[in-house]
Amino acid sequence: MPSATMIAIVGAGELGVEIAQAVALGGWPVVLHDTDESALRRAVGRISRRLEKAARLGRLSAQEARRARRVFTLSSDLAACAPAGLVIEAIQDRMGLKGALFQALDALVSPDAILATSTNTLSVTRLAAPTRHPQRVIGLHFPRPAHVMRLVEVVRTPTTRQDILDQAMLLVRGFAKTPLLVDDTPGLIVNRVAQAYFSEALRLLDGGGLDEATVDRLLEAAGFPMGPFRLMDFLGVDRVLEMTESLYEATFHVPRYRPQPRLQRLVEAGRIGRGNPLGGFFPAPPKDGS
């Protein structure tokens, strides 16, 4: 694919915004699509603030930050994605929603374009099967925060063409990321390791004598960038529970992936983390000025 290839991101939620920022920093023209125009406006605001902060801290030059802001096009019309050489969907992890979007995109973009899903829980093979060109459908799993983490899992299905995979690996490197080619299996690699990290931490609580802050402090002191409980709050306790449930079902109830009741209780109480007023494993921090 030429260097001027347009990249379309469908979905202006947190993950879509993080992916869009990562792509823009690579200098690629980016179309960010969402049916909610207010979500698009919020997305650009978040990206601008992050770029300004990164430039202020010396992680980016002012020129790089300005260039990344200039490459964006916003659209609530899916047709704006038609010229894209790569479309990455980042909508809710619901098979019905993603399947309908893939069929719409399949009819809209060029047969040479790559269609990628950001899911790390659903079957990419199943998403690809109903499309007219399943051989050009792949997974691109960006572990969060996607604009910071270097790894991207490039997911192949039994029908994915090798030249599509080669192009995808090249594009991911162009985003200044490290691509890892993996097969379409439940949870891929990152999610399975993350589930083990979370599950063992929860079992430590059940054993008594340790609390969330102590476990996090010990593991961060051992070199982990973020403790398991702080990470679950960042990702969203509800999202972690959904991922665990999906992995448990997809692996035909392998015991080590069984969802933890403690997660269910927190979600039922509305303590889902991710900036929620009730917090998650930890209380929400006070607002500025409080």
What's the Cα-to-Cα distance from 108 to each of 79, 129, 139, 217, 266, rounded to whole Å? Answer: 7, 17, 19, 49, 42
Neighbour tally for 38: CB within 10 Å: 10
Q: Is the pLDDT of residue 3 over 70?
A: no
The encoded tokens of residue 40 equal 């698009």
- Percent of the chain exceeding pLDDT 70 equals 97
Q: Is the pLDDT of residue 290 over 70?
A: no
Domain at 190-268: CATH code: 1.10.1040.50
Q: State the pLDDT confidence band at 289, using cuts at 50, 70 and 90.
A: very low
Q: Is the pLDDT of residue 2 over 80?
A: no
Question: What are the extents of the domains in the chain?
Answer: 7-183, 190-268
Domain 7-183 has CATH 3.30.70.1450: no
Model confidence, pTM:
0.90
pLDDT tens digit sequence for 209-239: 899 999 999 999 999 999 999 999 999 999 9
What's the Cα-to-Cα distance from 190 to each of 53, 152, 221, 231, rounded to whole Å? Answer: 28, 10, 21, 14
pLDDT tens digit sequence for 79-121: 999 999 999 999 999 999 999 999 999 999 999 999 999 999 8
The encoded tokens of residue 252 equal 């035909």
Q: Is the pLDDT of residue 154 over 60?
A: yes
pLDDT tens digit sequence for 111-153: 999 999 999 989 999 999 999 999 999 999 999 989 889 999 9
The encoded tokens of residue 285 equal 């921090």
